Amino acid sequence: MISYCPVCGKPVYFAERKRSLGKDYHPLCLKCYHCKRQLSPGQHAEHDDKPYCTHCYLQRFGPRGTRPSSTTRSSFGASPSPKVPAEIRKGS
Ligand SMILES: [Zn+2]
Ligand SMILES: [Zn+2]
């Protein structure tokens, strides 16, 4: 029943484990891989088996990972400004 910490690879014993997102971490290992901030179980993101705080996760992976098309779509799909008929343009 011993699981292994995905951060340091060492066994995590029941008494000391911090279970989050389906993995068991050491209390000291459950911190943001990028900024080293302490994380609370279930209140963080993870990428490639490494825990990240949501802030770092969004900065590094968020805009591309979660919504790949929304930014490009806004510039393409937005309806262009109403076309002015050629006759009216000539008149003025
Ligand atoms: Zn660990
Ligand atoms: Zn962070």
User: How far is residue 41 from each of residues 11, 27, 67, measured CA to CA in Å?
Assistant: 18, 10, 25
Centre of ligand 2 from the C-alpha of residue 89, in Å: 55
User: Which ligand lies nearest the alpha carbon of 38?
Assistant: 2
The 10s digit of each residue's pLDDT in 50-90 is 999 999 999 999 776 555 444 444 444 445 566 766 676 66
- Percent with pLDDT over 70 in the chain: 67
